[in-house]
Structure 1
Amino acid sequence: MTNQEQSTVGARCQLRRPIRVGVIGVGNMGQHHTRVLGLLKDVELVGISDVNVERGIDTAAKYRVKFFENYLDLLPYVDAICLAVPTRLHYKVGMDCLQAGIHTLIEKPIAATISEAESLVNAAAEHNCILQVGHIERFNPAFQELSKVLKTEEILALDAHRMSPYSQRANDVSVVLDLMIHDIDLLLELAAAPVVKLTASGNRASADSNYLDYVTATLGFSNGVVATLTASKVTHCKIRRLAAHCKNSLTEADFLNNEILIHRQTTANYITDHGQVLYRQDGLIEKVHTSNIEPLHAELEHFVHCVRGGDQPSVGGEQALKALRLASLIEQMALDGQIWQQSDWNYQYLNTPLSTVSR
């Protein structure tokens, strides 16, 4: 066998080698990452790390992988990392992973501040690493089908509701960064135009709370689409809905029940010989069938595909940074009660790509 043939065989073997993945942070979301990674084809779940040693050891034993008390000790053994630590730690841990040349999936939001997010995006480019951010609703089958439906519709307005009862989970950020940021990302994708106007208001569950627990915002886009977002941590039921008001239809997506309904106006009269209307149809409701794939499964499959093939993720650092910029502005507007319009400096801040990233 020639040297060239040996090199080709070696490259093919390397291509077939499972992607070695680790999980840092095995709390509520990290537990699910660990579970799904253990099910994926061509993936080797190498190990996990968590500051809670007892929880980490228990999780490692459950999935028969190695536990690393210090996450830095895990990095030499993996090609990619799923990062599910508290938001305030996204920057520190994420930078350590990217600077080590490790492809990284960071749970949303990408970071606690705009400057931290920009640094992470730059680090990924500098070290030629995949950086994906866990905006999981992009992979929800209901959103996937909604996007297809709306490609043939003229959108007039978008309306998103994301409500939850109070929980101790993710209590280190406001409802904007915890819940609303999901819909911010979805609306930016669907509207596909710059934001030119914004109003927002919000409230806290208690006077001594450090963060907003209920926020509503109204956005105006340069293409004329208007959007309303409402997010709550103090609603006594769980709601995940997005409605698209279009010129010829109303399309409603229920992300919890994985259901899409399309309402169309079609008036038809059925008349007897004597001129009496026996039946009148004023509207038609279509139900769109969606797949049953778990969104996290689809998200992690996409991440592994990007790591293996070098493709850019559908929700990379740039997209996540854009969502974080808008979320931060909404949060500030809700606190101040001000109205922002395109003439303000924020227009360029929201809609200018990060110029320091190599393309």
Structure 2
Amino acid sequence: MNLAIVGLGSMGKNHYRVLKRMDNVTVTALCDIQKNEDFYEPFYTDLDTMLKNEPIDALIIAVPTFLHKEIALKAIEYGKDVFIEKPAASTIEDAYEILHAANQKGVKSCVGHVERFNPAITHLKNELKNKIIYTIEITRIGPFPPRISDVGVLTDLAVHDIDLIRFITGKDILQTSIYKSRKIHNHHEDNAVLSLLLEDEIVANITTNWLTPFKRRKVEVACKEVYYEADLIGQTLHAYSDFQTDNSYRTRDIHIKKDEPLYKELEAFIHYLQSGDRGNLASIEDSIETLRITQAK
């Protein structure tokens, strides 16, 4: 399977590193506006030239969000399958345009919501089968990343967790309240709290910011008979149950085999290209739903 990567920033380099470890994949070419490092593969600064000259089955699009539409439409025009890093585009309208073009051309497409492939989330989703969920609390905080200049925390961080809430519950989000502020970022919000109401009266809350000196990625789920706590960085999952009137309870540490989420996601993408089975990959439609919430007035 011949893949090319467009955008060799932080995320693009991660894709490059992981793809080079995979046996059934060849990184055919790379493309960015300038070459800052030496690569073994042919390097292009013009996308059209790369698409015309190289035998490419699919593109990994890891450019800044505002360029997603332009790059994706060009790849689709050439009949290439696309993996677009989250979110699908800067606006709902642009995402719909990409979706329509992909459907018209008959190419495969997905959006890179890598947390779906975090082993802690995989096990949590399995644990939640047939459980009655009451509440979900997600914390995603950390220091400000200087590389992010085109979007705020809602588009860069909160989209992860909006997607995770829909993914692990299988429920639609019915109502949303968003509270946000800008403290240190020059143009966009860097501090936000989202309160969500899902089907079956599930209540969810997301806290996210770029104001904290340390990273924290936690998902907590309260169910009828058990409480789960997942650490997405440490890839751990704990379950608390058998609550007693004397405030005692039973703790269960759920065994998780640690793995790299991006590797599992790209494995799923290759399988999708070969079989047509999307599996747990996020679709452009999924990304549109997250954008609908973050861009709600």
Q: TM-score, normalised by structure 1?
A: 0.79
Aligned equivalents of 2:166 and 2:249: distance in 1?
30
Which of these two proteins has the greater Rg computed from alpha carbons? Answer: 1
Q: Is the contact between residue 83 and residue 106 of structure 1 (CA under 8 Å) also seen in structure 2?
A: yes
1:123 matched residue in structure 2: 101
- SS, match of residue 74 in structure 1: helix
Query: Higher helix share goes to which structure?
Result: 1
**Structure 1 residue 319, shift from structure 2 partner:** 1.1
2:147 matched residue in structure 1: 169
1:325 matched residue in structure 2: 292
1:68 matched residue in structure 2: 44
1:12 matched residue in structure 2: none
Aligned equivalents of 2:113 and 2:49: distance in 1?
28
Q: Is the contact between residue 130 and residue 312 of structure 1 (CA under 8 Å) also seen in structure 2?
A: no
- SS, match of residue 59 in structure 2: strand
User: Which deviations, in whole Å up to 9, do the C-alpha atoms of 1:51-97 show, x marking residues without a partner?
Assistant: 122x1xx242xxx2111121222224200110100000000001101
Aligned match for 1:288, one of 222, 239, 254:
254
Aligned equivalents of 1:315 and 1:197: distance in 2?
22
Aligned match for 2:19, one of 28, 37, 43:
37
Aligned match for 1:147, one of 108, 120, 125:
125
1:81 matched residue in structure 2: 59
Which segments of structure 1 move beyond 4 Å, counting only runs of 4 or more?
A: none
User: Which deviations, in whole Å up to 9, do the C-alpha atoms of 1:152-174 show, x marking residues without a partner?
Assistant: 32100000010010111222101
2:193 matched residue in structure 1: 216
Amino acid at match of 1:259: T
**Structure 1 residue 266, shift from structure 2 partner:** 4.5
1:20 pairs with 2:2: yes
Stretches of structure 1 lacking an aligned partner (at least 5 in a row): 1-18, 269-279, 333-359
Aligned equivalents of 1:312 and 1:146: distance in 2?
20
**Structure 1 residue 20, shift from structure 2 partner:** 0.4
- SS, match of residue 214 in structure 2: coil
Q: TM-score, normalised by structure 2?
A: 0.95
Q: Is the contact between residue 98 and residue 104 of structure 1 (CA under 8 Å) also seen in structure 2?
A: yes
**Structure 1 residue 197, shift from structure 2 partner:** 2.1
- SS, match of residue 277 in structure 2: coil
**Structure 1 residue 126, shift from structure 2 partner:** 1.0
**Structure 1 residue 327, shift from structure 2 partner:** 1.8
Percent same amino acid at aligned positions? 29
The count of residues paired between Structure 1 and Structure 2 equals 294
Amino acid at match of 2:147: R
- SS, match of residue 301 in structure 1: helix
Aligned equivalents of 2:142 and 2:72: distance in 1?
28
1:1-359 paired onto structure 2 within 5 Å: 19-53=1-35, 55=36, 58-60=37-39, 64-76=40-52, 77-206=55-184, 209-267=186-244, 282-312=248-278, 314-329=281-296, 332=297
Alpha carbons of structure 1 residues 164 and 306: separation in structure 2 relative to 1, 3 Å: same
Alpha carbons of structure 1 residues 209 and 260: separation in structure 2 relative to 1, 3 Å: same
